[in-house]
Amino acid sequence: MVKYQEIARDIRTKITNGIYKTDEKLPKQTELAKKYNTSRVTIQKALDLLHIEGIIEGRKGIGTFVKGPLSAYDYNAHVYSGLTKRLGARGKITSQIISFEVLFPDEEDQEKLKIGKNDPIYYIVRLRLLDGEALSLEYSYMPVYLIPGITEEILKGSIYQYITENLGFTIGSSVRRIRADKPDKYDQQYLECQKDDPVLEIDQIVYLDDGRPFEHSQARHRYDKGDITITNLD
């Protein structure tokens, strides 16, 4: 992990944990440089990342501020428009495991996860709930050899946290495709939606920082509970 990413992660954590609060000013860049024992340009590169993620905002002549959450469904917004989840106080996310199996990959899985036909994958289906109400239905496919030791306990929490903290991997890039779709029978069953209620589907492939894909998944959201916010900066 390079220096500016480490600094960005540290500041991000401090924001998530409320050490730097919403609308509060961060220490000035020269102070941060001194604190992290680095140059001001490196601090700026770290802050650039947080700026792109939309969690801070620099104001000339004043300082750098922590931004508040953007969307009513902040959970979705930041997981998908990118980058970093800061669940905040929007409600409690829980997971109900519907399926948890190990399978051999079909051709599509092989291609998307860049694995051979004899490399088994986890096939996981989870219902995500926000304060106990159905939010989305998520199908995940992950190579077993990359992510060993998944348990139901882990699935109830965050797979990402397990991968980064327990396995020591670093998440790299990702490609997500968003579209509207008609509800299938599982959507109707688990998301409790009607036949003419649309669903919002996010199909994603996520890569480790060494370029290996570790997850292919589809998340299907109730149309009334799953908007996505994308913020572009100057």
177 binds its own copies (CB under 8 A): yes
Q: Shortest approach of DNA to residue 187 CB, angstroms?
A: 40
Choose among DNA, its own copies, none what residue 81 binds, the Cβ cut-off being 5 to 8 Å by kind: its own copies
Q: Which of these segments, 26-34, 119-127, 160-168, 173-181, binds its own copies (CB under 8 A)?
A: 173-181
Residues 6+ apart with CB under 8 A from 119: 104, 105, 143, 144, 145
Which two structure tokens, joined as six digits, stand for 198? 């649309």
* Binder of its own copies out of 172, 186, 212, 218 (CB under 8 A): 172
The Cα 88–Cα 137 span in angstroms is 21
Beta-carbon-side half-sphere exposure of residue 89 (alpha carbons within 13 Å): 5
CA nearest 4: which of 52, 51, 36?
36
**Site of tokens 């004043």:** 62
The Cα 149–Cα 199 span in angstroms is 32
The Cα 32–Cα 42 span in angstroms is 10
134 binds its own copies (CB under 8 A): no
Specify the residue, 59 or 185, whose C-beta has the smaller distance to DNA. 59
* String of contacts with its own copies for each residue 54-73, x by CB under 8 A: ----------------xx--
One-letter amino acid for residue 46 of the chain: A
Specify the residue, 110 or 231, whose C-beta has the smaller distance to its own copies. 231
228 binds its own copies (CB under 8 A): yes
Binding site for DNA (CB under 7 A): 2-4, 26, 28-30, 37-42, 44-45, 47, 58-64
